[in-house]
């Protein structure tokens, strides 16, 4: 596949700790419910999964925030649960409850019955969306592909949906660890194939979202979450079309394990707002870039407060290479889009070299 030449590559350069003219910025969930144009597209599509499975709609909503703001990257519009859905678990969305599965995975027989999806065939709608978006971007900014981490995918598959205590999966981890490893290995192989297919279809960087890794104990995190992200990192395509493809690992509430995550071979760590980014940088040094880490709730504050917090985080990080500015988690639906604009413009204004 041939794509237009990239005009703004500061995001990719920052991930590889190369000098940039200003700190690049994007937002997790930047194509989402806080934008009225997104809500209109979703209504037109009929449902969230119809939005994901139609390449034109997925492209439309991916580009919406870029039409509003001078962002330095686009992220594929999709869902982290596409892999379990392709494994035949029957993903659906309950109003007010989030994602649910018609089938749960709790026994050895359940795990053995799970197929490892072929991304090119079983998730072809995602690949069509990736190549459609990459062409539509016209080289304006890079495109990020993504997946949920094996641990995070497993929480939904074993619990049947969102959970506060992950009791079924944690019970498996402590009483039948070999079963948990069997499931996580199958998921790691699936995620590796899925991300490599996204890279072949045009993703220029990839992020693994380990949303629920922070719910594990210190020891369990290394064995049941990080181990499988490391397996994925080891299996990823790292060069495509003559350019490096950076890999970002993001564990929410993962500040305890920064050094271990940095040793995984990834290019960048996503950090949430529970850690000072300057202290995070002191701990990992120049081994990896850092992405983050403003509390999304700051966007509910006044423009002056938003600008002050942006300035503080940039000052804490210091005059070093290797910073991608982001929120510490996804932007929330009730945020005023004008406040997101204040945030993005402040990052560029205060970080000009």
Which of left, alpha, beta for 107 (phi over 0: left; psi -120 to 50: alpha)? beta
281 marked as binding residue: no
29 marked as binding residue: yes
132 marked as binding residue: no
Report the C-alpha gap between 50 and 227 in whole angstroms.
34
**What b/e sequence results for 57-84 when a residue is b if at least 16 CB atoms lie within 10 Å of its CB, and e otherwise?**
bbbbbbbbbbebbebbbbbbbbbbbbbb
User: 66-107: per-residue pLDDT in tens?
Assistant: 999 999 999 999 999 999 999 999 998 877 778 999 999 999
What is the model's pTM?
Answer: 0.97
Report the C-alpha gap between 44 and 63 in whole angstroms.
16
Q: Is the pLDDT of residue 315 over 90?
A: yes
Percent of the chain predicted with pLDDT > 90: 95
Which of these CATH numbers, 3.30.565.10, 3.65.10.10, 3.20.20.210, 3.40.50.20, describes 10-351? 3.20.20.210
Report the C-alpha gap between 208 and 190 in whole angstroms.
13
Report the C-alpha gap between 49 and 43 in whole angstroms.
12
156 marked as binding residue: yes
User: 185-240: per-residue pLDDT in tens?
Assistant: 999 999 999 999 999 999 999 999 999 999 999 999 999 999 999 999 999 999 99
Sequence spans of domains, the chain: 10-351
| Confidence bin at 10 (pLDDT 50/70/90) | very high
33 marked as binding residue: yes
**Alpha helix segments (H runs only) across the chain:** 10-15, 36-45, 48-53, 55-68, 82-84, 108-113, 119-122, 124-137, 150-159, 167-175, 177-200, 218-221, 227-235, 258-262, 277-284, 303-317, 337-351
pLDDT number for residue 11: 98
User: 238-252: per-residue pLDDT in tens?
Assistant: 999 999 999 999 999
Work out whether strand 247-251 and strand 268-270 pair parallel, antiparallel, or are unpaired.
Answer: parallel
pLDDT number for residue 95: 73
Active site residues: 29, 33, 42, 79, 156
């Amino acid at each position: 596949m041939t794509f237009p030449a990239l005009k703004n590559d500061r995001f990719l350069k920052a991930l590889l700790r190369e000098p940039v003219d200003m700190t690049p910025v994007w937002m997790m969930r930047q194509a989402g419910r806080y934008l009225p144009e997104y809500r209109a597209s979703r209504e037109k599509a009929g449902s969230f999964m119809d939005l994901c499975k139609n390449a034109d709609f997925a492209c439309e909503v991916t580009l919406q925030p870029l039409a509003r703001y001078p962002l330095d990257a686009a992220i594929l519009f999709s869902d982290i649960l596409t892999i379990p859905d392709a494994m035949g678990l029957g993903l659906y969305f309950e109003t007010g409850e989030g994602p649910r599965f018609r089938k749960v995975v709790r026994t050895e027989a359940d795990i053995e019955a799970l197929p490892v999806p072929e991304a090119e065939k079983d998730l072809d709608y995602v690949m069509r969306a990736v190549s459609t978006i990459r062409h539509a971007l016209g080289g304006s900014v890079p495109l990020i592909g993504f997946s949920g981490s094996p641990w995070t995918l497993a929480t939904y598959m074993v619990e049947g949906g969102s959970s506060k205590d992950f009791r079924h999966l944690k019970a498996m981890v402590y009483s039948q660890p070999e079963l948990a490893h069997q499931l996580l290995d199958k998921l790691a192989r699936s995620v590796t194939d899925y991300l490599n297919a996204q890279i072949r279809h045009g993703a220029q960087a990839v992020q693994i979202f380990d949303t629920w890794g922070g719910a594990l104990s210190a020891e369990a995190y290394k064995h049941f979450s990080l181990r499988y992200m490391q397996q994925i990192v080891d299996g990823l395509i790292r060069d495509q079309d003559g350019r490096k493809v950076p890999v970002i690992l993001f564990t929410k509430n993962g500040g305890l394990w920064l050094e271990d995550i940095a040793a995984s071979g990834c290019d960048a760590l996503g950090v949430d707002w529970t850690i000072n980014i300057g202290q995070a940088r002191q701990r990992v040094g120049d081994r990896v870039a850092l992405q983050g880490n403003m509390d999304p709730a700051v966007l509910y504050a006044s423009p002056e407060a938003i600008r002050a917090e942006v300035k503080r985080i940039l000052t804490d990080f210091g005059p070093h290479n290797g910073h991608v500015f982001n929120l510490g988690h996804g932007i929330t639906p009730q945020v005023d889009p004008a406040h997101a604009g204040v945030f993005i413009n402040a990052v560029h204004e205060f970080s000009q070299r």
